[in-house]
A and B are shown apart, each in its own frame.
Chain A
Amino acid sequence: MTTAKISLTLNDRPVEADVEPRTHLADFLREDQLLTGTHVGCEQGVCGACTVMIDGRPSRSCITLAAACDSADIRTIESFDDDPLMARLRDAFSRHHGLQCGYCTPGMLATSYDIVRRVPDADNDRIRRELSGNLCRCTGYAGAVAAVADVLSQNPPAALLQPMPRTRQTARSATSPEAASSSSEPISASGQHTASVTQIPDAVADGVALSREVTIDASPESVWRILEDIPTLVTCIPGAQLGGMTGSRATGYVTVALGPIRSNFDGAADITTSPATKSGSAIGRGIDKLTRSALDGSLEFTLSEAAAPDKSTLKFDALYRLTGPLAQFGRPTVVAAIADKILSDMSDAISAKANGRDVDPVDTKPPALNGFAFAWIAIKGLFAGLWRRP
């Protein structure tokens, strides 16, 4: 299964190894090379515990592929036993209580070693800034900062790091037999998808608010009529497919993309509407098994006459909460930008239909659409809401 051959310098000795391409450097160091001084914390490049020296520069080994380190020079904490500068740092960390459980310490020391050499004139503010990429959850940072300041005050030999050439002449190829099957995983929308049984929350706790108004080029009456026609309606929502309706509960799924991320959200929503006022509310939950992320969303909406004739205004106030790995990338401003894009496409499609023009169903172009499922779920709730009359 392992087919990537790498040769590198590890702690001053040459190492040749076969690694599976997906192995990150931290796992390679710990599990293949048994150098367990490198600690693995978050495995997403945030905590800094896995920091090692790659070509003389502190780097996060959890988000560096071992296969990308062919011909590199790697130094882990184990190689610094006899290093006089690291000895000073170790001593200072002990004296200043720069560690308690010690989990972050290998990474802290690698970063500190770099600070002392690269920024010899660093004051406490600068040390704090430079150390900010290494998280400590027990001792706090005062001791670590004091330790680095102490070592700097002893006038250690300052040596500015020179950029190391990172060129590689020969192409290498590594194939994993599983790669073919993983690449054919159904990441794109597929008809085999079935709506899962989803538990719908009573309320969206700690939700992020998102309010929008969109103008549709058709009268509220004609828009409302379209909104009642579920299959037509769903074709107006980019990337969406309706699963089914049971009473007030609508189910369905949507395929969305955000840069290189693809998601398939299965969702369900409970809806109440008031046709008299052309308003309503919805609450729902969507689960994306691929990214193991969940979205809870609630929504209040009203459709009203806009200032200009034959125009309507669709206004909604949503509250959403995204959890799971996808939440890292679902920053509120990004969600809002995506919701705007979806709303714009959708209102174009609705006004075209209301005016009797044939439009390409929006669901033929989900791959081209960049949108986040949770924004869609909120919108899906909105439309699902129009289907039910209490």
Chain B
Amino acid sequence: MKPVAFKYDAAVSVSDGCGALRDGANAKLIAGGQSLGPMLNLRLVRPGSLLDVSTLPEIREANETEAGVVIGAAITHAEIEDGAVRDPTGGWLRAAAANIAHRGVRNRGTIGGSLAHADPAADWVIVMTGLGASVTLEGPSGRRDVPMSDFVIGPFETALSPDEILVSVFVPKPAKDTRWGYWKYMRQVGEFAKASATVLINSEAGASRIALGALGQQPIILSSDVAEKVIGERMEVREALHDAFNAAGLPAEPENLALHITAVHRALAIAHADNN
């Protein structure tokens, strides 16, 4: 038995949970616990109480709308991988989910937990940013939607206020003929990515997007102008990334830059081969 002693409650509802977060001394949410679990066992995290939202029915639903799919925060990676949740992208989410850590982790880890934890190397952080998704946060004063590009604001840091709960993520249905590529670099299966990139190609609508992840901070989104140039091969990936690193105040360390350049090239190749 490794963690410090704490109080444990299973939340009965999201609003009840927000109240518990506000009133609890050093209260912390837990869903699948696949990132928090190791931190608890190592006593890196010492909560006064844990509030378990992993089985809350209201955040274990996925609903399809005309514009996309709203995925409840407590849906597991494995459920997305297995197609138990409608994938508005025609398989991109399933493929990304299938490469998260290991099956044993995917069976309990949740999409909302991963986003709220905001590990810079997490798959959903970069994939949802690349897809232009948004998250819905609920707090005592109601709900608000935050685009992924504004949600993660630093390493393990998000726009969530202490008494808010991430209840769902909205994944927009991509426009017709949109192509997609996601690639991450890992030395072995299941470890934290050292570089990652997503490429979304929809040049007709001028809605193409290239995002870089596993930077130790929040993802970088290339400007749509630069993204179009890179996709149209009117600009070298190296040049675009060098500029983007500079603009973000990240030093263009050769190894790190090289890994991200490779990630963009691979993601581009996957997107070009995408027959969706």
Which residues on B sit within 8 Å (CB–CB) of A60?
34, 37, 104-105, 108
What total of chain A residues lie within 8 Å of the partner, measured CB to CB? 81
Surface stretch bound by B, among A90-98, A167-175, A199-207: A167-175
Contact of B60 among A20, A167, A172 (CB under 8 A): A167
Interface residue B242 (Cβ < 8 Å from any Cβ of A): no
Which residues on A sit within 8 Å (CB–CB) of B34?
45, 60, 63
Contact B190 A179 (CB under 8 A): no
In the bound complex, CA of A372 to CA of B154 (Å) = 13
Interface residue A212 (Cβ < 8 Å from any Cβ of B): yes
In the bound complex, CA of A304 to CA of B114 (Å) = 43
Contact A174 B7 (CB under 8 A): yes
In the bound complex, CA of A171 to CA of B51 (Å) = 11
Contact B214 A333 (CB under 8 A): yes
* Inter-chain pairs besides A22-B3, A163-B79, A184-B25, 10 sampled, C-beta below 8 Å: A22-B6, A27-B1, A44-B37, A44-B38, A48-B102, A60-B37, A63-B41, A184-B48, A211-B251, A333-B121
Surface stretch bound by B, among A9-17, A242-250, A272-280, A335-343: A335-343
In the bound complex, CA of A370 to CA of B79 (Å) = 33
B residues 205-252 touching A (CB-CB < 8 Å): 214-217, 249-251
Q: Which residue of B lies closest to A4 (CB)?
A: B8
Q: Which residue of A lies closest to B52 (CB)?
A: A68
Supposing A44-B41, A65-B33 touch, asked if A183 and B6 sit within 8 A by C-beta, the answer is: yes
Q: Which residue of A lies closest to B256 (CB)?
A: A333
Contact B216 A57 (CB under 8 A): no
Q: Mark B156-180, 1 if CB is under 8 A from A, else 0.
A: 1100000000000000000000000
Name B's A-contacting residues (CB within 8 A).
1-12, 16, 25-26, 28, 30, 33-34, 36-50, 52, 54-55, 57, 60, 76, 78-79, 82, 84, 101-105, 107-108, 117-121, 154-157, 188-190, 192, 194, 214-217, 249-251, 256
Interface residue A193 (Cβ < 8 Å from any Cβ of B): no
Contact of B107 among A23, A59, A175 (CB under 8 A): A59
Contact A163 B82 (CB under 8 A): yes
Name A's B-contacting residues (CB within 8 A).
4, 20-24, 27, 43-46, 48, 51, 54, 57-60, 62-65, 67-68, 70, 111, 114, 129-130, 132-133, 160-163, 166-168, 170-185, 187, 211-212, 258-262, 290-292, 325-326, 328-329, 331-338, 340-341, 344, 370
Contact A43 B121 (CB under 8 A): no
In the bound complex, CA of A183 to CA of B24 (Å) = 10
Contact B216 A180 (CB under 8 A): no
Contact B45 A260 (CB under 8 A): yes
Contact B103 A325 (CB under 8 A): no
Contact A179 B104 (CB under 8 A): no
Determine the main DSSP class of B at the interface with A: loop
Contact A341 B6 (CB under 8 A): no
Contact A259 B118 (CB under 8 A): yes
A280 to chain B, nearest CB (A): 22
Contact of B7 among A64, A176, A290, A336 (CB under 8 A): A176
Contact of A370 among B3, B7, B102, B156 (CB under 8 A): B156
In the bound complex, CA of A238 to CA of B142 (Å) = 33
Supposing A176-B6, A183-B26, A328-B38 touch, asked if A163 and B84 sit within 8 A by C-beta, the answer is: yes
Contact of A167 among B8, B48, B55 (CB under 8 A): B55
